[in-house]
A and B are shown apart, each in its own frame.
Chain A
Amino acid sequence: MYATRPEARPATVEVFVDGVAVRVPAGASAAAAVLLAGSAAIRETAVTGAPRLPYCMMGVCFDCLAEVDGAANVQACMVPVVAGMRISRQAGARDALMPEAGR
């Protein structure tokens, strides 16, 4: 659970986390958006289906793998948000044959 501090960094960018609109400050990563949205998980592991949220936020742990704008297993802490970005939970192993949205 995280909260923004609008007095320091106004939340100006609207993104969608699991379909729900969230406003986050410019410069935040997609992983930060998921934390700010209060999601229960950003991914479920491919091994046991365990829920995870970002752990390191600096590109080391890969626990922030999510679907970003239709691309699967994106390291969400390394991707800055842009308006309209769609971030959704990576549920286990990806479906390789599913065509990517917008591509």
Chain B
Amino acid sequence: MSAPEPFQAIVVGGGLVGSAIAWGLAREGLRCVLLDEGDIAFRASRGNFGLVWAQSKGQGAPHYQRWTRYSANAWPELAQELAAAVGADVGLHQPGGVHLCLSDKEMADRSDRMAQMAREAGNSLPFHYRMIEAAELREMLPALGPSVVGASFTPYDGHVDPLRLLHALHRAFTSAGGVYVPNAKVERSNAAPHDFRVFAAGRVFEAPRVVLAAGLGNAALAPEFGLSAPVRPQQGQVLVTERVAPIFTMPTTSVRQTMQGSLLLGDSVAEVGYDISQKPAVMAEIAKRAVLSFPFIARLNIVRAWSALRIMPKDGVAIYDQSERFPGAYTANCHSGVTLAGAHARLLAPMIAAGQLDGMMDSFSARRFDVRDAA
């Protein structure tokens, strides 16, 4: 075994969550190593829909709603700093976004949901939304289908090119002196307070901080550091059309136009464990809904499609923790790594660099599950 390589922080996981935190730490001046798997792995970062989306996050969990809003607010700064650091254009566009409703019932349910979000937001960071009827919506979005009865709108939403984002985070991290190590699945580790050793790729990495951001891998890694990360895979399938000339001025939750011009149609939800096989019946459902929303889509060619696994915490709300047994060890687990990249790079990373999670993060601790399970 080679000699231990000392760093100020080890981040495990080179997906969107790990890369955003690693970039944030590197920007704080920490000498940081980012350990990642190889060419083929379960990677939600490669399979997501690319929305920066606040309008439906954190229903029933006001702290999560707030955190998501903070992140949406931090996003323009993140985009600017990535542009400044490595000249990357991640294609951030935050004009607000809509969720289309295809029946009166969907419209009524959505309206209730938005009202609850607004109630839970309170006054410190109010939640502004509008339910938009079909006639007005038709002015906003071209070629809307007759089945669309309306939509909810919030001004916070937007989208990015998630692959450019991942690439940009890696480049920014590396250019700030960060060390990226691929093919480095963690083999084993030693934990002591503020003193960690991680064995991977035939090397030993040593640091007073370790951040577990290994997506679904966190479930198995966390206990080694006195942490818990109850996350499960949740499958989502997405369809991509050929490039078309620009038509959409804003994203929707099920159809968005990428900066290259393709339409992304999505995304399904299925609890099927570690299964990324594609199901034609599910793909057909996505296609049908897209056509009901925008009939012209029927004519477009699907050039790609995929199935990927979301990282879903037990209750759907993100989990952030610092280990009580081994201070210096952190976990970050969430489903919405694109939306939360702003918060991860600009809010969470500085807390980790400073050695203390802010009080507002307490509600995100996995200890909430112990309490609930005990009750």
Contact = CB atoms under 8 A, between A and B. Distances in A.
Interface stretch (B98-106, B243-251, B267-275): B243-251
B299 interface: yes
30 contacts: A46-B243, A46-B261, A71-B299, A72-B299, A73-B242, A73-B301, A92-B245, A93-B242, A93-B243, A93-B244, A93-B245, A93-B261, A94-B242, A94-B243, A94-B244, A94-B245, A95-B244, A95-B245, A96-B244, A96-B245, A96-B247, A96-B263, A96-B296, A96-B297, A96-B299, A96-B300, A97-B142, A97-B247, A97-B296, A100-B299
Contacts of B261: 46, 93
B143 interface: yes
Interface string B168-198: 0000000000000000000000000000000
A93 B263 CA distance: 12
Nearest to A99: B296
Contacts of A95: 244-245
A73 to B, nearest CB: 5
A96 B140 CA distance: 17
Interface in B98-149: 142-143
A97 to B, nearest CB: 6
Contacts of A46: 242-243, 261
Contacts of B301: 73
Interface string A24-46: 00000000000000000000001
Interface of B: 142-143, 242-245, 247, 261, 263, 296-297, 299-301
Contacts, number: 32
* Interface class of chain B by DSSP: mixed
Contacts of A73: 242, 301
A97 B245 CA distance: 9
Interface string A55-77: 00000000000000001110000
Contacts of B142: 97
A32 to B, nearest CB: 21
Contacts of B244: 93-96
B245 to A, nearest CB: 5
A73 B243 CA distance: 10
A6 to B, nearest CB: 36
Given A96-B245, A96-B299, A96-B300, 14 more contacts: A46-B242, A71-B299, A73-B301, A92-B245, A93-B242, A93-B243, A93-B261, A94-B242, A95-B244, A95-B245, A96-B244, A96-B247, A96-B263, A97-B247
A59 to B, nearest CB: 14
A85 B268 CA distance: 39
A100 B296 CA distance: 10
Contacts of B299: 71-72, 96, 100
Nearest to A46: B243
Contacts of B143: 97
> Which 4 pairs, one residue from A and one from B, show the smallest C-beta to C-beta distance?
A96-B244, A93-B243, A46-B243, A93-B261
A78 B225 CA distance: 58
Contacts of B245: 92-96
A68 to B, nearest CB: 13
